[in-house]
Structure 1
């Protein structure tokens, strides 16, 4: 049965909380940092600012319009709400967003380095590399703008001196993508310890991207 109204909001809010807890349990995020959202009609549901994930209740997840307007009586939304809102405004395919501070992604972002095509799985983010954005202060319009540029043609990017952000078609896939991007950042770090990794060229990655269009899809009954 399709849920509607308050029931739909509560159900999606619970899934957001579960995603937050899974994000920290996976090791890609720590404490109260990071944030999670999901598209909800023409608005979004997003984690509140400064509340421990284990303490969150469905009523704590903030319903916010994409222009930043929130109904009164709610907790304050994440300070990074602009990044989430701008992704939903600019990328119609985005249904859920995970922003985290994974160790290896963050280390690369502090060097202002993108993740090149050292491994074909880099294509999981939608392109031939995973870019790193320019730096801007957290929670600002400037950060949101540079993020959107880094996400052009991609579903994930690093945020300079900050962390990573990604989106996908639902919360499970967004979390899985975040975990995969951190795994790639870790592998890239280790690959460089013994020398310079061989980078796949654009033609090779184009072949991978074409294969990824049907990768992991099973025929429906």
Structure 2
């Protein structure tokens, strides 16, 4: 393990722990991947975040290969497929936060009830139809839901967020859970107003120079 490889592995461990610290995940259910030359690094299967180590992070090829004796996350397929299909993404996070997952359980997309929806690339965050975890079918459905977007819900499952960096992917995951929580409360208050598509398109353009986007991350 050279210096750059160790730094990359440590960043994956830190990102997985950040999901827990932000309240987006618990136990072994979430997973994180990072693009590296020739493939990706991904968290291992069934290891609680407090027991993760740089040595335990699994290096995979884009062909799905990985070292003997290691076992990548059961969701490695959609991590690999997203990074292979979307060169603008350098990292993917998956988690089961309460409010995102509640809407996913209902099979509901998140409409443009707040301008922050533009952070995900368009006027909605789609909900992919259900497929069993870890399957090629789920990966295909997730890719479709992510078309022109950087996040999606997975029916009866959880959420995915992807960004140019781990920092951006984690930021988007937190923003999506915040938006879902706000939407859930608004539905209890009354009927949320949905912003016009044209307004969201304009906000997407404004966001290109805002915050993490301004530095290309």
Which bin holds the TM-score, normalised by the shorter protein?
A: over 0.9
The answer to whether 1:71 aligns with 2:87 is: no
1:123 aligns with 2:91: no
* Structure 2: stretches of 5+ with no match in the other structure: none
Q: How many residues matched?
A: 214
In the alignment, which of 95, 104, 107 is matched to residue 112 of structure 1?
Answer: 107
**Hey, what's the Cα distance between the residues in 2 that align with 1:143 and 1:218?**
32
In the alignment, the residues of structure 1 paired with residue 173 and residue 7 of structure 2 have an alpha-carbon distance, to the nearest angstrom, of 22
Matched, 1:13 2:9: yes
Q: In 1, Cα distance between the equivalents of 2:27 and 2:10?
A: 19
SS of the residue 2:159 aligns to? strand
Pick the aligned partner of 2:138 from 143, 164, 167: 143
Distance of 2:132 and 2:99 partners within structure 1: 20
Q: CA deviation at 1:205?
A: 1.0
Query: Which runs of 4 or more aligned residues in structure 1 lie more than 4 Å from their structure 2 counterparts after TM superposition?
Result: none
Q: How far is the alpha carbon of 1:65 from its aligned partner?
A: 0.8
The CA RMSD measured in Å over matched residues stands at 1.2
Tell me how far 1:177 sits from its aligned partner. 0.7
Q: Could you tell me how far apart the structure 2 residues matched to 1:127 and 1:41 are? A: 30
Specify the alignment match of 1:103 in structure 2: 98
Unaligned runs of 5+ in 1: none
In 1, the alpha carbon distance for the partners of 2:89 and 2:205 equals: 20
Match of 1:33 in 2: 29
Q: TM-score, normalised by structure 2?
A: 0.96
